[in-house]
Amino acid sequence: MTITQETDFCIDLHCHSTASDGALSPQELVERAATQGVTHLALTDHDTVAGLSAAALSAAQKGVTLITGTELSCVWRSHTIHIVGLDFDPENRDFRDALAVQNANRWARARAIADKLGKTGVDDLLGKATAKADGDVPGRPHFARVLMDEGVVRDSAQAFKRYLGQGKPGDVRAYWPGLGEVVQWILGAGGVAVLAHPRKYKMTASRLSALVSDFKQAGGKAMEVSTSGQSSGDLGFLAELCRREKLLASQGSDFHFPGAPWCELGRIAKMPDGIEPVWHHFKSPVGH
């Protein structure tokens, strides 16, 4: 595993703060990124841009270039898919309105998750999960933390395995907009839409090709090729997919919390040759 450096750059275009389900505040996150040698960072909290202004302040102090980012939840066929938006205008009116709708979607989903997990017997599950999210809308990781605290499960992995992961009662997808809709939100705000961590959906190669095809049809331009915790086989597979589909390539750690050596800010396997990085196409191109 090497740290990706494009000449003098270290680029991480996917990570999370307390504005969604990360452990570090936007300021702490940027400081950690700077310590790790990251020169260009996109904070991509789930369905929100709430952390961006604090991150921008900190980035200016630390000499880190911050690229605007978010990670939008949507549904394609029966799968929950994540689309990273990069380099958009976070003040765009329609985009703000769409995020407000998405926040309402997340609240409706949180209530549904709490209902579905009623049989765990945890009293006021929604209230406790909301407290874990500092009063903001709780995501599945916040529910997982409550189930751990209450002794229902041993750890977060078990919470997902039994209650919150794909196909489990707390995996409620009915509230997400369609793939084409969220791609349009990003394009409307002048950004680039990136298919996040394509291997995480556990799709067959042919289903993934169908997803990529629909994503491109909708206006998607890039996909993550290098992300944390991927085998070199996955990396090669995604690089080949990216080349074949003529998409731009992105990379990001998907960092959520410190202490996981396999997932650290800026520690991303080097992108294979022969693919065009998405950052060459930013409004202020990086390294090109």
What residue ranges bind Fe ion (CB under 5 A)? 21, 82, 196
Binding-site member from 5, 103, 156, 184 for ligand AMP (CB under 6 A): 156
Binding-site member from 12, 87, 254, 264 for Zn ion (CB under 5 A): 254
DSSP 8-state secondary structure symbol assigned to residue 199: G
Binding at 185: pick from Fe ion, ligand AMP, Zn ion, none (beta carbon under 5-8 Å per type): none
Most distant CA pair in the chain: distance in Å? 56
Strands 192-195 and 79-86: antiparallel
**Rounded distance between C-alpha atoms, residue 100 and residue 96, angstroms:** 6
Binding-site member from 13, 14, 15, 21 for ligand AMP (CB under 6 A): 21
Binding-site member from 97, 157, 190, 244 for ligand AMP (CB under 6 A): 157
Binding at 87: pick from Fe ion, ligand AMP, Zn ion, none (beta carbon under 5-8 Å per type): none
Q: Which residues contact 129 (CB under 8 A, 6 or more apart)?
A: 110, 113, 114, 138, 142, 143, 145, 146
Based on the shown chain and the rule CB under 6 A, indicate whether residue 25 belongs to the binding site for ligand AMP: no
- Report CA 146 to chain centroid distance, whole Å: 22
Binding at 165: pick from Zn ion, Fe ion, ligand AMP, none (beta carbon under 5-8 Å per type): ligand AMP
Quick note: the x/- pattern for ligand AMP over 252-271, rule CB under 6 A, is ----x---------------
Binding-site member from 14, 32, 40, 140 for ligand AMP (CB under 6 A): 140
Based on the shown chain and the rule CB under 6 A, indicate whether residue 73 belongs to the binding site for ligand AMP: yes
Q: Which residues contact 251 (CB under 8 A, 6 or more apart)?
A: 4, 11, 12, 13, 14, 224, 225, 226, 227, 268, 271, 277
DSSP 8-state secondary structure symbol assigned to residue 162: I
Judged on CB neighbours under 10 Å (0-12, 13-18, 19+), 281 is middle
Binding-site member from 76, 88, 160, 255 for ligand AMP (CB under 6 A): 160
| Residues contributing to the site for Zn ion (CB under 5 A) | 71, 254
